Amino acid sequence: MSFRRMVPFLLLNILVSAAVVLAILYWWDGRNGGVDRVAAVATATAVIPTPDISAQLGEAAAPAAEDGAGAVEEATAVSDGPTTHTVQSGDTLGSISTRYEVSIEDIMAANGIDNPNFLSVGQQIIIPIGGLATPTAVPTNTPLPGVPPTPIPTEAAAAQGEAILQIGDVIGAGSITDEAVQIINSGTRQINLLGWTLSDESGFVYRFAQVTLFGEGAGILIHTETGNNSPTDLFWGLESPVWESGETVTLTDDAGSIRDTFTIP
């Protein structure tokens, strides 16, 4: 047989021998690998410690208790009494309401204020931020022990006494957003300001419409800028400031008589 005819038989023999060797190696490797994996699993199981669950729970509970205590202390600090405001010169219920974003009605109810124009400098008033905690009872005519009853205003009572009006202050002169004139009634009688005027030396005149100013130190602010009128704040509706330092402000009644003047510092 020639060498060329023997080549296919030699290649076939080589392939068969290689297949047999590979099969034996694969079988041997699988046998040893399985044993090794079982041993590894057994070893790993043997060395893994059992977790101490009770110790872990104890450690986790301690910080939680501390956090809870901190939250209680913080809540106590936040709820340590209601928010209060000390009335300053020029303050009105309207300006205080805007500052704290609390309605005038809620402030009056929280402090038992019947007259929205009556505030005293240095007076401490409660600011019910977040709303009133409980509904406020409607005041009755039953007097408290040791406190004389408040008289109900009547037409006859309103006519008694005297209304004494004066210019209390000029706030924020020169700033359109802050500028305002404060009018105070230090008398004992309320008065309707219809027809009264405020004027400066340059010819600017503000004329009061139908508005009542109570007595006993009640006040009202006349703002130069545009806004919505309220029982404590009136708005002129101008686009630029009017008042300036050194200028004299004049308050005139409906009969044309000068009732008070004020020179801006």
Confidence at residue 181, expressed as pLDDT on a 0 to 100 scale? 95
Residue 129 in tokens: 């931020």
pLDDT per position as a tens digit, 101-158: 888 888 888 887 877 777 778 888 889 887 776 554 555 555 555 555 555 444 444 4
Query: Domain residues of the chain, as ranges?
Result: 1-48, 160-263
pLDDT at 202 over 60: yes
Q: How confident is the model at residue 81 (pLDDT cuts 50, 70, 90)?
A: low
Per-residue model confidence (pLDDT) at position 79: 47
142 SS3 class: coil
CA 113 – CA 96 distance, rounded (Å): 14
Closest CA to 249 of 137, 161, 168, 194: 168
Mean pLDDT across the chain, nearest whole number?
Answer: 75
Which sign, positive or negative, has the C-alpha torsion 14, 15, 19, 22?
A: positive
Q: What is the dihedral of CA 89, 93, 94, 97, to 10 degrees?
A: 110
Residues 243-248 have a mean pLDDT of: 93
Query: What is the rounded CA–CA span in Å between residue 123 and residue 85?
Result: 8
Domain at 160-263, CATH from 3.30.56.10, 3.40.50.720, 2.60.40.2130, 2.60.40.1260: 2.60.40.1260
Residue with tokens 């503000």: 206
Determine the longest span between alpha carbons in the chain, in angstroms.
Answer: 152
Strand order in the sheet with 258-263: 205-207, 197-199, 248-252, 258-263
233-253 mean pLDDT: 93
Question: Is the separation of the CB atoms in 196 and 208 below 8 Å?
Answer: yes
Worst-scoring range by mean pLDDT, 68-77, 163-172, 207-216?
68-77
Instruction: Supply the pLDDT for residue 62.
Output: 39
